[in-house]
Amino acid sequence: MRCTPESVDAALRDLDAQQLRRRREIFGSGVDFCSNDYLGLAAHPDVAAAMANAALARGVGARASHLVNGHDAEHEALERELAEFTGRERALLFSTGYMANLGVVGAFADRDDLILEDRLNHASLLDAGLLARTRAFERYAHCDADAAAAALRAQHEARPNASAMLVTDGVFSMDGDLAPLPQLAAATRAYRQWLVVDDAHGFGVLGKTGGGCCEHFGLGADDIPLLVGTLGKAFGTFGAFVAGDAAYIELLMQRARTYIYTTALPPAVAAATRVALRLLRTEHWRRERLHAHIQRFRDGARRRGLPLADSPTAIQPVIIGSARDALTASRTLADAGFRVVAIRPPTVPAGSARLRVTLSATHTETQIDDLLSALEGACDAARRERAP
Ligand SMILES: Cc1ncc(COP(=O)(O)O)c(C=O)c1O
């Protein structure tokens, strides 16, 4: 809808009428089943202490962008540790995952290129593809590696010298399923094109040591040359990084506008993230407990006939359908003491509004069992409200 100063109220009323107005709520009581703190590191005392100590020692803000005067020893050390963790030559920190995605796609895509994206990619990847203003921007059906390969083949035949960039989530943020990375990597390797994978929800959760989708599938830097991770999820802190060959990262640093023209991440956040990374890599019990919870939740949901998606990760959406029913179900859960946010269009396709349940190592088995009972009631309540 076109928006003039006079039509703002009407635009807001329109959102209300469609049950699509988003609201912020200050989180108070209840059990949180919608944050991305999958390993329970956000409130870990060692992580918090590292942040507090670094802030006292080095100040709160970075004072400048990385390329001016804001690059701190904590940033440098974290980048080295993230490179080692991901098995890449180098890593570059960004202030957010959104900025990392805009930066990496914009830095490597040329006006004459094709950008190919999974239809259900995170908004930041889709925005990155649109903002790159390349010759062609195409979206393929969700997880359809054959369609992606066919598009690469068609471009190769029509324009053998043009470049393409295939961009995908590793774990899809609203569905919890995994991209078919071995097949996508085979296709981009065959045509010698870029593959960018945003593994925001895979790091810490997937792989024996929390190495994410790459470790899960046994893929390396030759398969996935540009790997994005965010720090605000399983790491429990804030920020993001891109990892890859040293030359790629050097060029990224020279070109990424969302890296160059912004204040650096606070060094204290980098210090906290270094501790979080150590815990993520060494405290395997957190990952094991999370996976036991995922299994328990899925088994219980199946027994109760809840409409589960096919997800092996911490993201376990319960698909409701209409935005109105999803809101009703979310409110019923809130009354029962559970915070599970309703995700509605345009974040997800129309007709697939859902309760995005996320699990964490900090949950107890009893909390998961109680949530399952409450979910059953909430789905019934939504159905009853819909009935004439
Ligand atoms: C897949 C994915 N990529 C990127 C982001 C953005 O990361 P950030 O919150 O650090 O901007 C998110 C969510 O926030 C995400 O789910």
Q: What is the pLDDT of residues 286-342, one digit of tens each?
A: 999 999 999 999 999 999 999 999 999 999 999 999 999 999 999 999 999 999 999
> For residue 270, which of 69, 82, 33, 64 has the smallest C-alpha distance?
82
DSSP class of residue 341 equals P
- At residue 125, the pLDDT reads 98
- At residue 359, the pLDDT reads 98
169 Cα nearest atom in ligand 1: 1
Listed in order, strand segments (DSSP E) in the chain are: 31-32, 90-94, 114-118, 136-140, 164-169, 194-198, 226-230, 240-244, 315-321, 338-339, 342-343, 353-358
- At residue 104, the pLDDT reads 98
Can you give the pTM of this predicted structure? 0.95
Q: Is 242 in the pocket of ligand 1 (CB under 6 A)?
A: no
Expressed in angstroms and rounded, the spacing between residue 62 Cα and the centre of ligand 1 is 22
Choice from 36, 93, 94, 98 to test ligand 1 binding pocket (greatest atom count within 8 A of CB):
98
Half-sphere exposure of 364 (CA within 13 A, CB side): 4
- At residue 2, the pLDDT reads 75
Q: Is 74 in the pocket of ligand 1 (CB under 6 A)?
A: no
- At residue 365, the pLDDT reads 98
User: Please, is 377 exposed, middle or buried when counting C-beta atoms within 10 Å of its C-beta (0-12, 13-18, 19+)?
Assistant: middle
- At residue 55, the pLDDT reads 98
- At residue 38, the pLDDT reads 98
The whole-angstrom separation of Cα 296 and Cα 221 is 34
- At residue 26, the pLDDT reads 81
Which DSSP string do the residues of 82-132 spell out, in sequence order? HHHHHT-SEEEEES-HHHHHHHHHHHH--TT-EEEEETT--HHHHHHHHHT
The whole-angstrom separation of Cα 255 and Cα 226 is 15
Expressed in angstroms and rounded, the spacing between residue 386 Cα and the centre of ligand 1 is 33
Q: Is 100 in the pocket of ligand 1 (CB under 6 A)?
A: no
- At residue 383, the pLDDT reads 75
Expressed in angstroms and rounded, the spacing between residue 156 Cα and the centre of ligand 1 is 31
Q: Is 96 in the pocket of ligand 1 (CB under 6 A)?
A: yes
- At residue 256, the pLDDT reads 98
Residue with CA closest to ligand 1 atom 6: 97
The whole-angstrom separation of Cα 121 and Cα 112 is 22
The whole-angstrom separation of Cα 216 and Cα 182 is 11
- At residue 387, the pLDDT reads 67
- Structural domains in the chain, sorted by start: 24-39+284-386 (3.90.1150.10), 45-282 (3.40.640.10)
Expressed in angstroms and rounded, the spacing between residue 30 Cα and the centre of ligand 1 is 25
Expressed in angstroms and rounded, the spacing between residue 90 Cα and the centre of ligand 1 is 21
Q: Is 207 in the pocket of ligand 1 (CB under 6 A)?
A: no
- At residue 388, the pLDDT reads 60
Residues carrying an active site annotation: 173, 201, 233
171 Cα nearest atom in ligand 1: 1
Which residue ranges of the chain lie beneath pLDDT 50?
A: none
Amino acid at 371: L
Residues in the chain: 388
